[in-house]
Chain A
C-alpha cells in the first residue's frame, strides 16, 4: 500500500494529531462521538463551530502552485493602462477567461482575450467583447432605490442612500426573523455569478434558507453533482487538460479518442466552468464525437452515424441501453473494476431486467446505433463523456446521471488523463468553489440545518450544495408546510423572466413576501414586479475578487475602473450587510473583516497566498494529480480509494442503499418522465408534441443582454425551432408567431424552421423579456403586469410542471407535452 499523502482538502490523521497537540478540538468522528456539535463539515472540509479560528485543521503546508506565470498584471500601452485579470461576473457567466482591459482616463476602451492565459488562450466570447456597452448602458441601475410595498409593479422607485437601504433591509429582515423565525428569511440567487458567498449571509442570520426556490426541481447541475458525490465521493469533469497550465502540451495529458456529448451544446452554454471550445481543440487533435441530442447541433452534424436523436426526456433509456451492452458484452475494464469499483455484479444483474430494443424504441433511436456508440466508447482509451443540463431537467434525470457515471466508471475512464476526472476545490479553498456553502456549517447548528426545506424528505439535499429544495418550497406556498418565506434577498435573480416554473404563479406567491431586496445591474421585470429595495450591483470590471466555480485554478478578478454611479459589488454588499444582520451568536465570527481584500486573504489562506499575491500572478493552478484514488488523495483519512463508505467507486450506491426509504435506488435505472407520451398516453391526443425549454442563444446568458444593442441585433426575437412539416400542418409559416400550450400555461414564439428534428419535437429559447418596452412601465399603469416588459409572453417556463423526481431533483423543463396553434392577433 502506497504511503498516504494529505489531499488537497481534508486532513490526514497526522495533521489532526498535530492540531490536537496545539490545543484544537478534534472533529466529531466515529472515534470522537462525544463532541457532535463542535465541528461542521462542508465538502469534506471540517469547520469548528462558533469560532472563526482555528479553521485550518490540516497543518501541512499548501502545495505550491504548479505554475505561476511570469507576466505583469498591469502596464501602459499607447496612452492606455492595460489590466490583466480574469472575467467572471456580473454579467453572468460560468467561465473565468483571461482578459486584458484597456482603460483611458478612467473609462474602459476595450476588452481583449489574454493570449497568455491557458484557460481561453486569447479567445473571448461576444458577451465580454461587448462589456463597455454593458457597463456604460443608459439603463444601468446607478443608485439604491426604495418603493412602497403597495406600489409593487409600478415604476414608483425613489432614490435613497446606501445607508438608508441597509437600514431598511436590516430592520425588515430582523423583524421577519423575530416574528416568523430566521428560516423565513431566504437568500436567493441567479446562476453564473460568483455570488455563492451569499450563503454566509443567510447563515449569519441563522437561516438555512438559500437557493433558487422558484426553479422547479433545482434542475441545474445540483442533481448531477449530488449524484456523483453520493457515488464517488467527489464530482467528475471531462478532462480537456484544463487542470494543467501547459494544457495540450503537458506530457501527462492524453487526447480522448472518443467523446459522447450528451444533452449539451458546448459552445453555446459554456456551462459550469467548461469552455465549450475545448471540445473543438480536441477535435482538431483527433477526437471523434458522438452526440445525444434532439437537435442536429453543429457538433452533431460532425458525429455522422453517432448522432443519437433522443426523444427529450429519454436520455436515461439510452444510458441504460449502453450500460447493458457494455455489461453483457463484458467490455468493461475488468482490472479496474476488480480493484476499485463496488457493485459491478449488481449492475450486471440490473441491466438484465431491461430489453435493449425496448429501451431504444422508447428513446426513438435505432438499437444498432446505440450498440455501436456503446462499443466504441467502451473500447476507445481514453474516452470521455461531456454532459449538459438536459440531464437535470427531467424527472428521471438523477437515475440517468447514475447510469452515465457508471459508464465512465466501469470502462476505467475515471480519473485518468482524457477521461472524466475528479476535481476538488483548489487547495481546499472552498469559498469560491463551485459547491459553495461558505460559512454554512461554520455558522449554523445541525438543528438549524435540519430546518432547511427538503432536508428531512430528500436525502440528496444533504450532500453537496446546501440548498433549499425547490419542490418543497413550491408546495409550501399553498400548504404553509413546513413554513412560508416572508422576506427575501435576491442577488441578481430575474426569475420571472428565467427559470421560474409557471411564472405567473410564482409572481402571485412572491408578492406575499412582506419584504424583498434585490441587487442587480438593470431594472428587470422581477425587480419591477416585486422589489421594495433595489441595490445597484457592479460588474467584474468594477470590483476586486477572484474567480472560482471551477476546480482547476484560482484566478484574480482585478478592478479596472471605479464603479459607475454608486454601484457596489456583491461581495462588499454581503460584507456590509452581513455585519448588520449577524445574530449575537455569530456577530464576532461571521464578518470580522474590514475590507473585501482582507476577507479574500482569509478565504485564500489554505492556498498559502494573499489576494495581492494572486492579483500579481493573475492565476494559480494547484498541482494536479491523475488517479488520485491510487495515491490516497481522495479520502479525508488519507487512505487509498474513493471518499465513499466502501472506499470504492460505488455504482451500487451505499448512500442510496441507506436512504432507499426515500425512493432512491442504489442501482441505475430508467425512469420514464412524468407526463410523457408513455407515462400519460391519455394526453397524447390533446398534447401531441414535446417541447424543451432552454435552447441557448449565443449572445445571451439566460435572461441577460437583451438590452445590448449590438447583441440583440444579431438575435432580435424569441424563437421556437420546429419541423416545417409540423408547423405547416398548423398553418405556421417560417417567422410566424404561434402559441405553445399545455395544462400549466402557454407562451408565444416565432417559428424557425429546422427539418432535422423529429416532427413531434420542438425547442424554445428561454430567458426572454423586452427591455425596450420600458415606456409601458413608466406609464405607471394600473394593470401591473403591463409594466413588466412583456415578461410572461414568450416565457416557455410558464409550462413547466412542478413535479420533481423521487430525489427531489429534476422537473421536466426539457420534456413537456404540448399543443401549438397560430397566433391570430
Chain B
C-alpha cells in the first residue's frame, strides 16, 4: 500500500480559501463541513529593521478529505489542487511528492491509496 498525500508550498498560499469552497462543492458538503481549512500565521515581526515579516497561510486537511477519490479515479486532480488560485498544492504518492520538496513545503500523508 502506498500512502497518498498532498504537498503544500506554504510560501505561495495566499489564503484565498478556494480549496474550502471547491471541496464543499465537489462533495456536496454543508457550510460547516470541509475537507480542508486554512489557518493564518502572522504577520510576525522577524526582523523589523530589515522589514522581514512572516505572513503565511497554511491549508490543513480534515477527515472529510477523501483526496477526491471519485475525481482522481477518472484521471482528474483533486478539486482543491485544480482550483488552487496560486497553484501551491500537488498530490500523489508521498514518495514521489517527497522528491519535489522545496523550501517551506509541507507534505501531508492522508490515506492509503
A interface, CB within 8 angstroms of B:
110-113, 115, 122-126, 129-130, 132, 267, 277, 280-281, 283-284, 296, 298-299, 301, 303-305, 307, 698-699, 709-711, 713-714, 754-756
- Contact in complex: A123, B18 (CB < 8 Å): yes
From B15, B42, B83, B86, A124 is in contact (CB under 8 Å) with B83
In the complex the two chains form, is A267's CB within 8 Å of B18's CB? Answer: no
Can you identify 28 A-B contacts, CB atoms within 8 angstroms?
A: A110-B26, A112-B79, A113-B82, A123-B82, A125-B16, A126-B16, A126-B17, A126-B20, A126-B21, A129-B21, A129-B25, A130-B21, A130-B25, A267-B85, A280-B86, A284-B12, A296-B43, A296-B53, A299-B14, A301-B42, A301-B54, A301-B55, A303-B51, A305-B51, A307-B51, A709-B31, A714-B17, A756-B53
Q: A111-B25, A132-B25, A280-B87 are in contact. List 18 more A-B contacts (CB 8 A).
A: A112-B79, A112-B82, A124-B18, A124-B22, A126-B20, A129-B83, A130-B21, A267-B16, A277-B14, A277-B86, A280-B86, A301-B54, A303-B51, A304-B50, A307-B51, A699-B17, A709-B31, A711-B21
Which residues of chain A come closer than 8 Å to B36, judged between CB atoms?
A: none
A301 touches B53 (CB 8 A): yes
CB nearest to A756 among chain B residues: B43
Q: Mark B57-71, 1 if CB is under 8 A from A, else 0.
A: 100000000000000
Residues of B contacting A124 in the complex (Cβ-Cβ under 8 angstroms):
18, 22, 83
Residue of A nearest to B53 (CB): A301
Rounded to whole Å, the gap between the CB of B66 and the closest CB of chain A is 16
A710 to B19, CA, bound (A): 13
Q: Which of A110, A112, A125, A126 has the most CB of B within 10 A?
A: A126
* Minimum distance in angstroms from B58 CB to a CB of chain A: 13
In the assembled complex, the CB of A758 is this many whole angstroms from the nearest CB of chain B, namely 13
Indicate whether A123 sits within 8 Å of B14 (C-beta atoms), given known contacts A110-B26, A296-B43, A298-B55: no
Closest chain-A Cβ to B107's Cβ sits at a distance in Å of 19
**Of B15, B25, B84, B87, which is within 8 A of A298 by CB?**
B15
Q: Mark B6-34, 1 if CB is under 8 A from A, else 0.
A: 00000010111110111011100001100
Interfacial chain B residues near A298, Cβ < 8 Å: 14-15, 55, 57
Of residues B51, B54, B55, which shows the largest number of chain A Cβ atoms within 10 Å of its Cβ?
B51
| Contact across chains for B54 and A123 when beta carbons are under 8 A apart | no
* CB-CB nearest in chain A for B47: A304
Chain B contact residues, majority secondary structure: mixed
Assess A698 versus B17: contact at CB under 8 Å? Given A296-B55, A298-B55.
Answer: yes
Partner of A714, one of B20, B79, B83: B20
For B43, the chain A residues whose CB sits under 8 A away are 296, 301, 754-756
Contacts A280-B86, A305-B50, A713-B31 given: A125-B18 contact, CB under 8 Å?
A: yes
Most buried by A among B45, B52, B87: B87
CB distance from B76 to the nearest CB of A (A): 9
* Inter-chain contact B31/A267, CB cutoff 8 Å: no
Give chain A nearest CB distance to B34 CB in angstroms.
9
- B22 and A129 contacting across the interface, CB-CB below 8 Å: yes
Chain B's nearest CB lies how many Å from the CB of A438?
32
B18 touches A126 (CB 8 A): yes
Within the assembled complex, what's the spacing in Å between the Cα atoms of A302 and B102? 17
Complex-state Cα separation, A281 to B88, whole angstroms: 11
Q: Are B21 and A123 in contact (CB under 8 A)?
A: no
**Bound Cα distance A699, B21 (Å):** 10
Chain A residue at smallest Cβ distance from B82: A122
In the complex the two chains form, what is the Cα distance from A112 to B55 in whole Å?
29
Asked if B55 contacts A304 (CB within 8 A), the reply is no
A123 touches B31 (CB 8 A): no
Q: How far is the CB of A612 from chain B (nearest CB, A)?
A: 29
| Residue in B16, B22, B51, B82 whose CB lies within 8 Å of A304 | B51
Contact (Cβ within 8 A) A713 B18:
no
- A113 near B83 with CB under 8 A, answer yes
- Residues of chain A contacted by B51 (CB below 8 angstroms): 303-305, 307
Q: How far is the CA of A756 from the CA of B17 in the complex (A)?
A: 23
Give min CB distance, B28 to chain A, whole Å. 9
User: How far in angstroms is the closest Cβ of chain B from A743?
Assistant: 33
Nearest-neighbour CB distance to chain A for B73, whole angstroms, equals 11
Residues of A contacting B52 in the complex (Cβ-Cβ under 8 angstroms): 304
C-alpha gap A126/B26 in the complex (Å): 13
With A129-B22, A132-B25, A301-B54 known to touch, is A123 a contact of B17 (CB < 8 Å)?
no
Which residues of A sit under 8 angstroms from B16, Cβ to Cβ? 125-126, 267, 698
Q: Are B25 and A110 in contact (CB-based, < 8 A)?
A: yes
Kindly provide the distance from the CB of A724 to the nearest chain B CB, expressed in whole angstroms: 13
**Chain B residues, Cβ within 8 Å of A755:** 43, 45
Other-chain contact of A123, B12, B20, B50, B84 (Cβ < 8 Å): B84
Chain A residues closer than 8 Å to B55, beta-carbon distance:
296, 298, 301
Using CB atoms, name the residue of chain A closest to B79: A112
Contacts of A130 on B, CB cut-off 8 Å? 21, 25
Contact check: which of A112, A296, A299, A713 meets B83 at CB < 8 Å?
Answer: A112
A710 and B83 form a contact (CB under 8 A): no
A578 → B minimal CB distance (Å): 37
Q: Which residues of B contact A277 (CB under 8 A)?
A: 14, 85-86
A698 to B17, CA, bound (A): 8
Asked if A129 and B50 sit within 8 Å, CB to CB, the answer is no
**CB-based closest 10 A-B pairs:** A301-B55, A129-B21, A126-B21, A301-B53, A280-B86, A710-B31, A277-B85, A305-B51, A713-B31, A709-B31
Q: Which residues of A sit under 8 angstroms from B42, Cβ to Cβ?
A: 301
Nearest A residue to B12 via CB reads: A280
Closest to B71 in A: A112
Cα distance, A122 to B57, chains bound together (Å)? 21
Q: Determine whether the beta carbon of B12 is less than 8 Å from that of A713.
A: no
Interchain CA distance A283-B82 in the complex, whole Å = 19
